[in-house]
Amino acid sequence: MTDGGIRLASLAAGILVASACGAYAQQAGGTDTDLTDVRGQSVMERQRPGYDAAGIRAGGFMVYPTASVTEAYNDNIFATSNNETDDFITTLAAGVAVNSTWSRHALNLNAGLSQDFYADNTGEDRFDWNVGASGTLDISSATALTGGLSYAQRHEDRGDPSSPAAADEPVEYNLFTGNAALSQNFARVTATVGGEYRDYDYDDSTSVGGLPIDQDFRDREEFYERVRLAYNVSPDTNFFVEGQLDQREYDLQPPVVGITRDSDGWQVVVGSEFRLTNLAQGGAYVGYQERSYDEATFTDTDGLTYGANVDWFVTPMTTVTFTADQSVQETTIGGSSGFDRQTFGVDVDHELMRNLILSGGLSYGNNDFNSSPRDDDLLGASAGVLYLLNRNVDVGLRYTFEDRDSNVATADYTRNVVAITLTGKL
C-alpha cells in the first residue's frame, strides 16, 4: 500500500473510532437529537444545541477557532486530457473568526491558513493564507456605513484556463480587496452607494525545463462603483434597481507587453431580495451589461446579465438551493479579451438526523471566450455526508466530479476526488 493509502486508511480508522465514541456519548449523555420543525430556515443555517461550537468569550467578542485535517484522493491532479496523474493529498488547515456582540455597530475579524502535502508529486505542495476584517458603523437608526478589507495568498487550480500548462508548479498570487457602502433608509425606500477595489499580483513561474514564465502581465487592479435603490415591501422583502460601473486596469502596458487588456464596463439590473413565508428565501436579478476594451483587436461585449441564489424549503428537514450567474470574466489566453461565464447549479441538504446531514449537487457551466473560437462546457457533481459527533468534532466524507468539454482538445479533462475531513472546533 502507498504512503497515501496508509494515511487514508489510518484517517478512516480514526474516524470510525471517533464516530463510535461520539455515538456512545450520545447514548450515555442523552444528547437531544429530536427533529424539530423549523421550516423557514435552511438546513445548514439552523442552530443545533449540543452540536454547535460554543466559542470563547473575550470581552465584547466571541472567538471561534477551528482546525482540520483532510485526506483526499485525486485521480487527475494536473487536469490533463490524457496521461492522468493521481495522488493522495493531505491538507492541514486552521482558522479563527472573531465576532463582536455589541448592541450597536459590529466588527468581525477572520484569519486562516492551509497547507497541502502531495504524497508523490511534492512540487504541487501549496501554502495558502488569508486575513480579513469587516464591520458596520450605525451612524443613526436610518443610516449605516459598512466596509471590509482582506488580503490573501492563493494558488490557481491546475484546471484554470488562464494558468500556464507548462508551469512546473501551480501559479501563486496575492489578492487584496477593500469595499465600503453607505445606506440610508427613507421610510420604505433604501438608497445605497458603494464601491469595491481589488488588486491581483501574480508570482512568476518556471517551466518543467527550467525556463522562466513571466506572469507580471497578469497583474491588475479592478474598481467597482455601485448605486442601488430598493423599495421595502416588508422587513425581509424588497425590489431593487442597481447600476454599476467598473474599470479593469493592467499594470503592464505596450510596448512592455504586446497588447493592452484594460477595459471598462457597466450594467443595470432589477431584482429582489425576499423571504416567502416559510417556503423560500434568497435573491435574484436580471439586466443588461456592456464591456468595451482599449485594445482595437478585441471585440466589445454586451448582452444579458443575471444572477440568483435561492433556498427552497421543501420540507422542514430538506433544503434545495438554486444558483445562477452570467458575467464577463478576465483571461489571459492568447487572442481572447475575456470570457462570458454562465453557471447553473442545484444543491440539496437533508437532515437525516440532527447530527447527520446528507448533501449532493449538480452544476453546469459554459465559458465562451471572446475574440477566440474557444468554448468550454463544464459539468460538476458532488455528494457528501457530515456527521456532527459533538459540539467540538465534525467528520465529513465528500465526493466531487468535474468534467470540461472544450473545442480545444488539449483543454478537455475529467477529475474525481474523494476526501475525508476531521474538524475540531471550540
DSSP string for residues in 370-393: TTS--EEEEEEEEEEEEEE-SSSE
Counting residues of the chain whose pLDDT is more than 90, the rounded percentage is: 73
Provide the greatest CA pair distance for the chain. 73
In angstroms, the CA 172 to CA 126 distance is 9
In angstroms, the CA 401 to CA 415 distance is 6
Q: Give me the amino acid identity at 416.
A: N
Which residue has 437532515 as its cell numbers?
351
In angstroms, the CA 350 to CA 19 distance is 20
Contact (CB, 8 A) for 89 and 3: no
Residue 345 has pLDDT above 80, yes or no: yes
Please, which pLDDT band fits residue 255 given cuts at 50, 70 and 90? confident
Strands 212-213 and 172-186: unpaired
Least confident of 40-44, 197-201, 285-289: 40-44
Please, which pLDDT band fits residue 186 given cuts at 50, 70 and 90? very high
Task: Give 95-104 pLDDT, tens digit per residue.
Answer: 999 999 999 9
| Higher per-residue pLDDT: 165 or 397 | 397
Please, which pLDDT band fits residue 94 given cuts at 50, 70 and 90? very high
Residue 6 has pLDDT above 60, yes or no: no
Say if residue 46 is exposed, middle or buried (CB neighbours under 10 Å; 0-12, 13-18, 19+).
middle
- pLDDT of 3: 53
In angstroms, the CA 306 to CA 271 distance is 9
- pLDDT of 189: 96
Joined grid coordinates for residue 349: 441538504
| Higher per-residue pLDDT: 18 or 317 | 317
Residue 27 has pLDDT above 60, yes or no: no
Which range of 26-40, 90-104, 323-337 scores highest in mean pLDDT? It is 90-104
Least confident of 63-67, 70-74, 161-165, 266-270: 161-165
Give the start-to-end residue ranges of the domains of the chain.
3-425
DSSP assigned state of 16: H
CATH number for the domain running over 3-425:
2.40.160
DSSP string, 173-196: EEEEEEEEEEEEEETTEEEEEEEE
DSSP assigned state of 29: H
Which conformational region is residue 105 in: left (phi greater than 0), alpha (psi within -120 to 50 degrees), or beta?
A: left
In angstroms, the CA 422 to CA 11 distance is 8
Q: What is the reported pTM?
A: 0.86
Residue 136 has pLDDT above 70, yes or no: yes
Over residues 345-363, the mean pLDDT reads 96
E strands, 31-171, are 56-58, 61-74, 87-100, 106-118, 126-138, 143-155
Joined grid coordinates for residue 59: 470581552
Mean pLDDT of the chain: 89
- pLDDT of 64: 97
Task: Give 283-317 pLDDT, tens digit per residue.
Answer: 999 999 999 999 988 988 999 999 999 999 999 89
Residue 112 has pLDDT above 80, yes or no: yes
In angstroms, the CA 67 to CA 90 distance is 14
Joined grid coordinates for residue 96: 479563527
